Amino acid sequence: MTDKMTQAQAMMQSLPHARSLGMIVTAMSAGQATITMPYDPRLIGDPATGVLHGGAISALMDTASGAAVMCHPSAPAATATLDLRIDYMRPATPGQAITARAVCHHVTRTVAFVRVTATDADESRPVAMGTGTFTLERPPA
């Protein structure tokens, strides 16, 4: 495991919500992060169908987006979500893990812009897609 991946996994373990939701960093590169959340019956939003709650999926997408900002080459010291818009395309398939892939595609002096997609095993049909903006706290010069 690369040093960046080790750091990313440690970051996930330090976030109580990420730890509680079982989030696992599966890929990191310059401005890109992929995080998977296993299916968990505790996160079901509709008991009749077994579909995961949208709030758990949005937490996954937000966390992946923040991770993409944190591993951007501009290397911010910290970030926080300013805005996150999510469009749900279809219900997640019960019993399947959800993976969020986020790309930090543009950075200004104070704001980062991210696109994120959540999929289950059928990667050709997204469960949700989103765009977000994140604050940038730069490291001291």
Residues 77-136 have pLDDT tens digits of: 789 999 999 999 999 999 999 999 999 999 999 999 999 999 999 999 999 999 999 999
Paired tokens of 139: 């490291």
In the predicted model, what is the mean pLDDT of residues 34-60?
96
Residue 99 sits in which domain range? Answer: 3-137
Look up the pTM and report it: 0.93
Burial 114-135 (b: 16+ CB within 10 A, else e): bbbbbbbeeeeebbbbbebbbe
Q: Domain tally for the chain?
A: 1
In the predicted model, what is the mean pLDDT of residues 18-46?
94
Task: Tell me the CATH number at 93.
Answer: 3.10.129.10
Diameter of the chain measured on Cα atoms = 55
